[in-house]
Structure 1
């Protein structure tokens, strides 16, 4: 390249490696990002996701140790939604969980398969699915559906990047509940409608 790549280019490359499961190239991109901004937790989390997808649990543990040694802390994921001029931050709720359980059943009937690669712990598949079901954007969307009139568009905001499983799940949810769902995560706006997303599954 005629210019030196910056953090945005390396981050884009790392994101592409996550999608295409290229571990070797991801390690090179992560190494460059660790040098440029060693305090950014997003690089460590993305790299841990890539290792988890590849089943490299020892490498996932190594990433966690590096984060601890460097004092890098992953921000807890949270989502929020405004309903009737009130902002709700998510937080668990029995009613929302019950509704999500019903949605999960209907999603599986439609062909949805949870992407448990998003879970960074070497646990049983059933436990991984349960962990994914409580992601904050799913809770916010479920609350939006049960708290607003049929057909009302739902807008959710998240402080972190949405995971692959949630992205796929929200596509199914938009079709099942027949709602337009807009999610603004830390990377971009996603507009879900009738089972598809405006990002065309590349973000």
Structure 2
């Protein structure tokens, strides 16, 4: 008898562009974890607050970069894809997210971690626009860094208070469907632009 093992899930790192523990975008990513297909393993990164402001003097003083930057580089390098949920501050992405991308665009022991990395962008806001302008500016920066940004579908979660419960459950069925479609599309995007996952060889077992 030959036993076939299932293909391992793609590892996807999720970044929320807000440091607030209970931010709408962190809730959206936690909802994505619950809605992800079995072929994607989503993990929300919780240490963005340890990344200092980008400073070339600081970068040069520490051979491998500050510890928070090293950890972020390593996490992105180990992931098969990246999902970024951005708030919108003054019609643009937050400084904390731009700062993280500035660090990630630098060479590190983990390599050029954004180059050719599959990335999907989404966002949630309490207002009616759902971070449309922030996502546009984020996409521009990611393209400049060489990331492979999924062009569609887009996901703009407006009026987040009526769609995301305190426990990160999506209260709106249309948003649930949109998020599921978004994640399935990202799975296809990774398969299209990234190297295929290694499939384990079938294991032959003796018949009883």
TM-score (norm 2): 0.28
**Which of structures 1 and 2 has the larger relative contact order (alpha carbons within 8 angstroms, sep 6+)?**
2
- Structure number having the greater helix percentage: 1
